[in-house]
């Protein structure tokens, strides 16, 4: 006889400035704010609304005033933390808010160039950079602003897929589970999840995004006054550190928040100009420290969600087969890449420097090594030339199979045939579609 299994129900009473840290196991868990006021990384929870937290989800439910939270289902872990750095992050928000109010006053007096705060969050891996970015953006929205979020971390892809550098105008608070609405994200494909594989191109993309942010701010004084929040990757040594200095300069940041790492804080003090305020803040004890395998799984989940959506809003991608036996002009989809192998100096064309090969755009011939690779779709009017290194992607596909005998390849695409373009950019990001 089947026993009627009742879901596990637990109640957590949170006092002022406490947070309930949750790790969801293999099953969905229902969360309800029964009374009080609470938020998840800056997004308020509605009272008596039932939220479904999916498997693998990690978050904290924080309260400034006190709250009662009910959890239905079995969590991997759930505990109340009484020590959190949220008061420090809130203070940072108030610092940014003062800056915004000054910009808005100047704007009201006719100064159309009044600029809000530009803050860069940095620190080693797993210190909560993305989470603090999200909190600060959510607070900015709740105070009536529309900041720009820049994600310079190609490792995880907060607002696009992994392997990109991206920017998003944030107009509403992040969804508790799905994070920010990504529909208007501008994403540039770096071609890999590690900037170290092509640091020249990474720095070029940093400058490209910074120029676009400046253009957007020049176009809208309101956005300019709201400021920019820049999330970075955890590579803080050698060329990684140099790329952070490049980013600080390119985005003309006013504030750098260093999470957790004192050496990095001191290095910035030495290397950044005096007008940049550098602050050192603690990481939250709740931040998950992820193994390489967990990072890879999270990347895969992110790409999976791009094509298939989530359980609550599923997408239905298309499988399309193309022939590559046709002539170059007739091919329905052809592929370029950024970066070629290094040529000896003597073989370089006149005027080309050794670094140029890293950002040189070349055509890629199709072979079985492309199987499972993610490709970035370029706009319909794009051609294989150097302009591709400054062109945002219009979407992503995956090559799921290459048949070298029949000279065909198969792709997974969010859109049906015909694709909106014939040109895609190679990436070495892999996605194995086992759905």
Site residues (vs ligand ATP, CB under 6 A): 21, 58-60, 125-131, 153, 155-156, 233-234, 284, 286-288
**Which H or E run includes 148?**
strand 148-151
Nearer to ligand ATP, 248 or 359 (CB): 248
Cα distance between the two ends of the chain: 34
Smallest distance, Å, CB 232 to ligand ATP? 8
- CA pair distance 196, 240, nearest whole angstrom: 7
Q: Which token pair is 17? A: 């400035």
For residue 218, give the nearest of 314, 295, 113, 297 by alpha carbon: 113
Smallest distance, Å, CB 59 to ligand ATP? 5
Nearer to ligand ATP, 89 or 322 (CB): 89
Can you name the residues that pair with 36 across neighbouring β-strands?
67
Count, residues in the chain: 435
Position closest to ligand ATP via CB: 286
- CA pair distance 337, 325, nearest whole angstrom: 20
Contact indicator for 176, 43 with CB cutoff of 8 Å: yes
Nearer to ligand ATP, 129 or 204 (CB): 129
Question: How many other CB atoms are there within 10 angstroms of residue 405's CB atom?
Answer: 5
Nearer to ligand ATP, 58 or 422 (CB): 58
Nearer to ligand ATP, 130 or 391 (CB): 130
Smallest distance, Å, CB 298 to ligand ATP? 8
Nearer to ligand ATP, 126 or 428 (CB): 126
With tokens 């062109």, the residue in question is 391
Smallest distance, Å, CB 235 to ligand ATP? 9
H helix runs in 72-228, sequence order: 86-108, 129-142, 199-219, 221-226
Smallest distance, Å, CB 194 to ligand ATP? 12
Nearer to ligand ATP, 72 or 125 (CB): 125
Question: How many other CB atoms are there within 10 angstroms of residue 28's CB atom?
Answer: 15
- CA pair distance 35, 75, nearest whole angstrom: 21
Nearer to ligand ATP, 59 or 377 (CB): 59
Smallest distance, Å, CB 61 to ligand ATP? 9
Smallest distance, Å, CB 135 to ligand ATP? 9
Smallest distance, Å, CB 48 to ligand ATP? 23
Using CA atoms of 265, 266, 268, 271 in order, give the dihedral in degrees to the nearest 10: 180
- CA pair distance 232, 336, nearest whole angstrom: 27
- CA pair distance 431, 413, nearest whole angstrom: 13
């Amino acid at each position: 006889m089947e026993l009627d299994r009742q879901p596990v129900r637990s109640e957590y009473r949170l006092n002022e400035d406490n947070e309930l840290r949750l790790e969801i196991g293999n099953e969905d868990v229902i969360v309800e704010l029964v009374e009080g006021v609470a938020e998840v990384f800056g997004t308020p929870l509605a009272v008596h609304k039932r939220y479904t937290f999916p498997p693998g989800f990690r978050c904290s439910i924080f309260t400034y005033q006190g709250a009662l939270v009910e959890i239905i289902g079995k969590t991997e872990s759930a505990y109340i933390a009484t020590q959190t750095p949220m008061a420090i992050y809130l203070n940072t928000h108030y610092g940014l808010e003062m800056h915004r109010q000054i910009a808005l006053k100047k704007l009201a007096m006719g100064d159309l160039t009044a600029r809000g705060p530009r803050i860069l969050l940095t620190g080693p891996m797993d210190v909560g950079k993305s989470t603090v970015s999200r909190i600060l953006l959510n607070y900015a929205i709740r105070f009536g602003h529309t900041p720009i979020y820049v994600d310079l971390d190609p490792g995880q892809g907060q607002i696009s897929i992994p392997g990109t550098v991206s920017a998003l105008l944030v107009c509403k608070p992040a969804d508790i589970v799905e994070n920010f609405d990504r529909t208007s994200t501008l994403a540039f494909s770096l071609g890999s999840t590690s900037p170290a594989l092509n640091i020249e191109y990474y720095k070029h993309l940093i400058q490209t995004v910074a120029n676009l942010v400046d253009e957007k701010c020049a176009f809208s004084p309101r956005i300019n006054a709201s400021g920019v929040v820049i999330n970075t990757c955890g590579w803080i040594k050698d060329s990684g550190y140099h790329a952070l200095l490049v980013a600080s300069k390119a985005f003309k940041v006013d504030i750098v928040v260093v999470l957790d790492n004192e050496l990095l804080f001191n290095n910035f003090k030495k290397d950044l100009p005096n007008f940049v305020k550098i602050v050192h803040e603690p990481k939250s004890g709740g931040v998950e420290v992820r193994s390489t395998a967990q990072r890879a799984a999270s990347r895969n989940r992110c790409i999976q969600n791009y094509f298939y959506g989530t359980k609550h809003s599923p997408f239905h991608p298309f499988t399309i087969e193309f022939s590559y036996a046709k002539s170059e002009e007739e091919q329905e989809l052809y592929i370029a890449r950024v970066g070629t192998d290094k040529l000896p100096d003597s073989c370089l064309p006149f005027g080309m420097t050794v670094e140029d090969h890293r950002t040189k755009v070349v055509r890629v011939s199709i072979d079985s090594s492309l199987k499972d690779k993610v490709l970035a779709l370029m706009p319909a009017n794009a051609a294989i030339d150097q302009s591709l290194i400054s062109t945002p992607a219009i979407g992503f596909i995956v090559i799921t199979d290459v048949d070298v005998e029949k000279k065909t390849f198969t792709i997974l695409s969010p859109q049906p045939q015909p694709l909106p373009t014939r040109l895609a950019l190679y990436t070495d990001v892999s996605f194995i579609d086992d759905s």
